[in-house]
């Protein structure tokens, strides 16, 4: 699915979090929203996910206006920085949650749900943890469970807020490859937010550098590195 962001702006009270920004994300791309904190990257991601409503502008999914579409209808696999796993549910119940929450007519059978959860656990290479609670998992395991939970609803896109933010450096590196692999297997259009330029450059097909609620530059990693468009970008990617 390709996503078009058309002159989206967002202000909280009198402070502008996003000045009108536009961006076209091609189908199947892995896009990084890169910028320091307060640059508006998370706000943009939340607007894509339907968690925030833009002050003006439109969001188009496959050319269709999705601005007023509810969170539930969007079917965006959203992963939170804190993962927001349901701590009173097992890993199995967490992953099955989105399928079980469907209205009866659209809900898969019990066996089908179990089969899909098992498949997702294989995909994240943690086949044996279905019965555990989130409190019994390591940080890296939690991250992968959150990813599996987002994938379980057969999302139309993946939206990841600082997917590696809460992890230490070693795990971070391992999981980067994991994410790339999952993206390549599923072919989902994926947008992730990060403040780590190395992470963005290594992982993404397309990097969007943001600052102070504006897009500074859009481009492939090698292009941004070779030809930074503004002094801010030059400084940020060499930091």
Q: Which residues bind another protein (CB under 8 A)?
A: 49-51, 53, 56, 58, 65, 67-68, 70-72, 74-78, 80-82, 84-88, 97-98, 101-102, 133-136, 149-150, 152-153
The full DSSP string for the chain is: --EEEEEEEEEETTEEEEEEEEEEE-TT-EEEEE--TTSSHHHHHHHHHTSS--SEEEEEETTEE-TT--HHHH-EEEE-TT----TTS-HHHHHHHHHHTS-GGGPPPHHHHHHHHHHHHHHTT-TT-TT--GGGS-HHHHHHHHHHHHHHT--SEEEEESTTTTS-HHHHHHHHHHHHHHHHHH--EEEEEES-HHHHHHH-SEEEEEETTEEEEEE-HHHHHHS-SSHHHHHHHH-
To another protein, the closest distance from the beta carbon of 209 in angstroms equals 26
To another protein, the closest distance from the beta carbon of 8 in angstroms equals 11
To another protein, the closest distance from the beta carbon of 229 in angstroms equals 30
Which of 25, 150 has the CB closer to another protein?
150
Which of 50, 213 has the CB closer to another protein?
50
Which of 40, 77 has the CB closer to another protein?
77
Which of 40, 98 has the CB closer to another protein?
98
């Amino acid at each position: 699915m390709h996503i078009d962001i058309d002159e989206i702006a967002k202000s909280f009270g009198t402070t502008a979090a996003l000045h009108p920004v536009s961006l076209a994300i091609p189908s199947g791309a892995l896009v990084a929203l890169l910028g320091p904190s307060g640059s508006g990257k998370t706000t943009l991601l939340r607007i894509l996910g339907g968690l925030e409503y833009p002050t003006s502008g439109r969001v188009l999914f496959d050319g269709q206006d999705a601005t007023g579409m509810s969170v539930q209808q969007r079917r965006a696999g959203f992963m939170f920085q804190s993962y927001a796993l349901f701590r009173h549910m097992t890993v199995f119940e967490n992953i099955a949650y989105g399928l079980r929450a469907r209205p009866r007519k659209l809900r898969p059978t019990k066996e089908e749900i179990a089969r899909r959860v098992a498949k997702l656990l294989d995909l994240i290479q943690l086949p044996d943890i279905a019965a555990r609670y989130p409190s019994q998992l390591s940080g890296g395991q939690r991250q992968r469970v959150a990813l599996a939970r987002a994938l379980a609803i057969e999302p139309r896109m993946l939206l990841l807020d600082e997917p590696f933010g809460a992890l230490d450096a070693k795990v971070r590196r391992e999981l980067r490859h994991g994410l790339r692999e999952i993206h390549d297997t599923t072919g989902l259009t994926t947008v992730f937010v990060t403040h780590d330029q190395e992470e963005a450059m290594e992982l993404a097909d397309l990097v969007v550098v943001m600052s102070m609620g504006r897009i500074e530059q859009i481009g492939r990693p090698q292009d941004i590195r070779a030809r930074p468009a503004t002094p801010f970008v030059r400084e940020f990617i060499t930091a």
